[in-house]
A and B are shown apart, each in its own frame.
Chain A
């Protein structure tokens, strides 16, 4: 039964990935898409470019981010035994947005220009680097805390506080900024998979890959933590160490995604619930790979809708995710009654 579900998810993912390559603003006949992908010469030279330079990196990004945020969301929900937790609950994305806001809004006029003009040094990594730096600072603070604090709830509240602090700094920067820059900032928060090019891909994919491997390695401690810290301890788990690695992997995943694509909401909180509902289990050995598959599929489909195939225009990704995602996910969750049971809290 479960095997069938995996197979179904895999097929869906493959379908979504192919659709992501086949459909976009520019209409390319499907047999041409296949032909070009298999190394043939395209009818129109620009089509090969569009496929390899635009659609392929975008689809790969969606795949990676979808998996990353869903895995991170699952880890956070389990760690805090809270169904509302998401990958950003510890303030990672807020930290990233402080970094981005400092680049876009804060660096003053001249400073900003030279900063952006000096892009050739850091290349397109400027925003990503600033975002990663912000995310890492928050992450370091949370990790330090996690080693000192016994109580997971205190950790959660501290994370929330870091988030508020970061948001306050961003709001302050926005308040004193020119409207054009504020607009650039608000566009960043709309989220997009289209900004990652092949230049970024090695760094981006390794960060996400590492985070995903770490989260797969943490499935057993996660299962133990589901039963509560005390019980996990009695099973011989070093709770603090497990917590450290879980936070590290989740934050790496959330931080890298936010740094390159902007904050992508919704996937991280919704996909774990849907997966639990479909698989009727709380066992992370089954759930972890499943949420990754499901998250990737969801992200790919959301991006497909955002690109509005056939039209030249695009919609903001976060808007699409919530608009189209909420009804689907509500339907799935409402159909199952034992949320609490599978959540085992």
Chain B
């Protein structure tokens, strides 16, 4: 009996699987006539050779030529440790060495110029046609990049609009132009399938039970992992804007944006390089008796160093947070000059009310407590977790202003505020 049932179930599963395959595939790249194509002489004379990347549309039908470089504008990656890209005429291969914490294998995607054939040697889920016409983002940190690359109009869905700060995105949401799909493994797959975006950009935590991408891939949707959050340098994180740009063939714009960010960031960090006096700083607040302190090689530590501060855990070599006991933090940071990133607390009173021991810190007594929550929407979305990834130079300017106010007399704080 049992055997019979299982055979039946197996058959049913097979049937369902077959059905799944039979469902119509997303409409793949119907060639859109490109403006430049019409300017060219007849196809037989010279093949279609773009002067710029095709940021909007495909190679016209029948005009593909394997000898042509369809991506005359390219990016090179210098800061993002985890990212690399190679160009191959009509497609580019982007590789993420460690897509999520503990990943043993890299992830790669073949980004194929639409209107050109798919290259050999890739799994179907690794092939993504570019430029993508519609995108869903599952992290707010991708939004500023889309905005600055000028492709926000291709955004069709997000995880949740509650925590978004970008006014344009909020307006789109208000006008009903954005679907909200939810978080992690609880993501609304049916809605995603109905939406059929060309691309869903997600982050992976390494815990498959909590991640959205396994569910989405199983549903046959095009997914690209973004591992920007694992990068340990602020510039490295900002460089992931180039990764996002690859999917829109917006290399030129992304390259220019990053170059500007990098120029400003380097200029600012040069200001603090030779300072004789570096104030000491520590960060975060404890929770349930454990103080999660940014590791000495984390991006927060890099920010502190570049802003000319002496981070008290700079001698540590880990990139993740350290779980410290309160007393260990107290011993080392009691006399520290600055205390930053205190989380949900909004006033010194709050801090003291929650734990009177906070008031024993010198930074507390001197009123040198600062928090990165100056730009919070009424719904609770903190712009620090949105635009700060794309613009580390603004965060750095804030920090330098805090640690060395004389160096940047004209800068007004953007993300940080003094806690009073």
Could you tell me the distance in whole angstroms from the C-beta of B420 to the nearest C-beta in chain A?
A: 13
Binds B, one of A6-14, A30-38, A191-199, A271-279: A191-199
Q: Does any Cβ of B come within 8 Å of A334's Cβ?
A: no
B42, CB-defined interface residue at 8 Å: no
**Chain A residue at minimum C-beta to C-beta distance from B291:** A314
A322 to B288, CA, bound (A): 19
Contact A194 B326 (CB under 8 A): yes
Besides A50-B327, A119-B354, 11 other A-B contacts (C-beta < 8 A): A26-B328, A53-B357, A108-B162, A113-B344, A113-B376, A117-B346, A175-B186, A178-B163, A194-B325, A312-B325, A313-B323
Is B324 a contact of A312 with CB atoms below 8 Å? Answer: yes
- Give the contact-size bracket for chain B: 35 or more
Whether B330 lies near A54 (C-beta < 8 A) is yes
Tell me whether A119 and B323 are in contact in the complex, defined as CB-CB below 8 angstroms, given that A25-B331, A312-B328 are known contacts. Answer: no
Which B residues are CB-close (under 8 A) to A119?
345, 350, 353-354
Does A43 touch B at the CB level, under 8 Å?
A: no
The answer, yes or no, to whether A29 is at the interface (CB within 8 Å) is no
Can you report 13 A-B residue pairs in the complex whose CB atoms are below 8 A from each other?
Answer: A25-B324, A25-B325, A110-B379, A112-B380, A124-B354, A182-B210, A188-B288, A194-B289, A194-B325, A312-B324, A312-B325, A313-B325, A314-B323
Contacts of A179 in B (CB 8 A): 183-184, 205, 210
Complex CA distance for A115 and B33, rounded to whole angstroms: 55
A120 with B350: in contact, given A53-B360, A312-B322, A312-B325 (CB under 8 Å)? yes
Which residues of B are found within 8 Å of A108, using beta-carbon distances? Answer: 162, 380
Does B102 belong to the interface (CB within 8 Å)?
no
Asked if B290 contacts A187 (CB within 8 A), the reply is yes
Complex CA distance for A72 and B331, rounded to whole angstroms: 37
| Bound complex: CA A254 to CA B417 (Å) | 41
A184 proximity list for chain B (CB < 8 A): 287
Cβ-defined partner of B360 (8 Å) among A49, A175, A194, A313: A49
Tell me whether A49 and B380 are in contact (CB under 8 A).
no
Determine whether B182 belongs to the interface, using a CB cutoff of 8 Å to chain A.
yes
A123 partner, pick from B286, B353, B360, B380, beta carbons under 8 A: B353
On whether the beta carbons of B163 and A313 are closer than 8 Å, the reply is: no
Chain A: CB-nearest residue to B357: A53
Q: What residues of chain A lie closer than 8 Å to B346, measured between beta carbons?
A: 117
Q: Which residues of B contact A188 (CB under 8 A)?
A: 288
Name the distance in Å between A265's Cβ and chain B's nearest Cβ.
15
Q: For B290, give its contact among A110, A198, A199, A314 (CB under 8 Å).
A: A314
B327 near A25 (CB under 8 angstroms)? yes
B89 contacts the other chain (CB 8 A): no
**A188 CA to B182 CA in the complex, in Å?**
24
For residue A177, CB closer than 8 A to chain B, the reply is: yes
Q: Does A24 contact B (CB under 8 A)?
A: yes
- Interface 1/0 per residue, A107-127 and B, CB below 8 Å: 011101100110110011000
CA–CA, A256 to B353, complex, Å? 20
B167 part of interface (Cβ distance < 8 Å): no
Q: How far is the CB of B372 from chain A (nearest CB, A)?
A: 14
Whether, in the assembled complex, A55 has its beta carbon less than 8 Å from a beta carbon of chain B, the answer is: yes
Contacts of B184 in A (CB 8 A): 179
Which chain A residues have a beta carbon within 8 Å of chain B's beta carbons?
24-26, 46, 49-50, 53-55, 58, 108-110, 112-113, 116-117, 119-120, 123-124, 175-179, 182, 184, 187-188, 190-195, 197-199, 262, 307, 312-314
> Which of B162, B289, B334, B357 lies in contact with A192, CB distance below 8 A?
B289
- Among B325-345, those with CB < 8 Å from A are 325-328, 330-331, 334, 344-345
Q: How far is the CB of A224 from chain B (nearest CB, A)?
A: 40
Instruction: Enumerate chain B residues within 8 angstroms of A25, measured Cβ to Cβ.
Output: 324-325, 327-328, 331
- B349 contacts partner chain A, Cβ-Cβ < 8 Å: yes
Evaluate contact between A313 and B331: CB separation under 8 angstroms. no
- Closest 3 A-B residue pairs measured CB to CB? A194-B289, A109-B380, A192-B289
* B355 contacts A by Cβ under 8 Å: yes
Pick the contact of A46: B160, B325, B334, B355 (CB < 8 A): B334
CB-CB < 8 A to B330: which residues of A? 26, 46, 49-50, 53-54
Per-residue CB contact flags for chain B residues 271-315 toward chain A (1 = under 8 Å, else 0) read: 000000000000000111110000000000000000000000000
- Cβ contact within 8 Å between A314 and B380: no
Asked whether, in the complex, the Cβ of A176 is within 8 Å of the Cβ of B327, the reply is: no
B347 interfacial contact with A, CB 8 Å: yes
Closest chain-B Cβ to A202's Cβ sits at a distance in Å of: 13
User: Whole-angstrom distance between the alpha carbons of A190 and B186 in the complex?
Assistant: 24
Give the docked Cα–Cα distance between A117 and B371 (Å). Answer: 13
* A109, B328: Cβ atoms closer than 8 Å: no
State A109–B323 Cα separation when bound (angstroms).
Answer: 26
Q: Give B186's nearest chain A residue, CB to CB.
A: A175
Given contacts A53-B357, A123-B353, contact A313 B183 (CB under 8 A): no
Closest B residue to A175 by CB, please name it: B186
Which of A26, A176, A184, A314 neighbours the largest number of chain B CB atoms within 10 Å of its CB? A314
Q: Is B378 an interface residue (CB 8 A)?
A: yes
Closest residue of chain B to A180, judged by CB?
A: B385
- The answer, yes or no, to whether B356 is at the interface (CB within 8 Å) is yes
Give the CA-CA distance A53 to B289 in the complex, in Å.
13
Query: How far apart are B29's CB and chain A's nearest CB, in angstroms?
Result: 34
Q: Across the two chains, which residue of chain B brings its CB closest to A303?
A: B289
Verify if B381 is at the interface (C-beta below 8 Å from A).
yes
Contact B183 A24 (CB under 8 A): no
**B183, B325, B345, B378: most-surrounded residue (chain A CB, <10 A):** B325
Question: Is the beta-carbon distance between A313 and B347 smaller than 8 angstroms?
Answer: no
Partner of A313, one of B324, B349, B350, B380: B324
- Cα(A330)–Cα(B128), bound, Å: 56
A195 x B289 contact (CB < 8 A): yes
Residues of B within 8 A of A112 (CB): 380
Instruction: Write the nearest CB–CB distance from B144 to chain A, whole angstroms.
Output: 19
Instruction: Tell me the B196-236 residues at the A interface (CB within 8 Å).
Output: 205, 210
Contacting pair A24 B325 (CB below 8 A): yes
Contact assessment for A54 and B357 in the assembled complex, using a CB-CB cutoff below 8 Å: yes
> Closest Cβ of chain B: how far from A256's Cβ, in Å?
16
Select A314's contact among B325, B334, B376, B378, beta carbons within 8 Å. Answer: B325
Tell which of B205, B287, B324 has the most Cβ of chain A within 10 Å. Answer: B287
How far, in whole Å, are A193 and B289 apart by their CA atoms in the complex? 7
